[in-house]
Amino acid sequence: MRESARRVAGSQPRLLVSAAAISARVRALGEEISRDYRARAGDGPLVVLGVLRGAFMFVADLVRQIDVPMIVDFVRAGSYGDGRDSSGEVLLELGSWPDLDGRDVLVVEDVVDTGRTLQAILAAARAGNANSIRTVALLRKPGALVELDYVGFDIDRRFVVGYGLDDAGKWRHLPYVGYVEDAGG
């Protein structure tokens, strides 16, 4: 059995952030983002750029709470593969990158650990000549290298799963954020 398969074969993840807490915080973030972008009144719709795959649930829930004209798109990025530790190398797939020239962009991340993935996405968005770029992350861990505009929850350095986040493909479907302890941990 592969190591990643052994890791997830055990017990159900332990609760870290409940579905109710996520729902309430996403609603509050949507209201705050709506206020901020209504005040900007820039040209054209806001481009909401979700980071796949982990942020898909967060993006879906968040955009339903944002009350400004928008275009929703995604970029595939990552540095974890099937492991629990970042490789340090960020892979971006920009094949269907939307036109950002002169647009306001909101990058939506699932979890910001080191921030390297988000830094790479922000650099690509700047190169696309975006008018403004803001960031929102559901979860932020200590020591993140990127300043975020909006944060759902600050958490400790545990490896988290659920609400779109996975461990080698497992646990994305959970309505809450949890953590899986290794055997003996």
Q: Which residues are catalytic?
A: 113
What residues have CB less than 8 Å from 117, skipping those under 6 apart? 51, 77, 78, 79, 90, 109
Output DSSP code: residue 170. Answer: B
Signed CA dihedral, 13, 143, 29, 98: sign only? negative
Judged by DSSP in three states, 75 sits in strand
Output DSSP code: residue 91. Answer: E
Neighbours of 148 (CB within 10 A): 17
User: What burial letters (b/e) apply to 63-101, b meaning 16+ CB within 10 Å?
Assistant: bebbebebebbbbebbbbeeeeeeeeebebeeeebbebe
Name which of 49, 46, 48 is nearest 69 in CA terms: 46
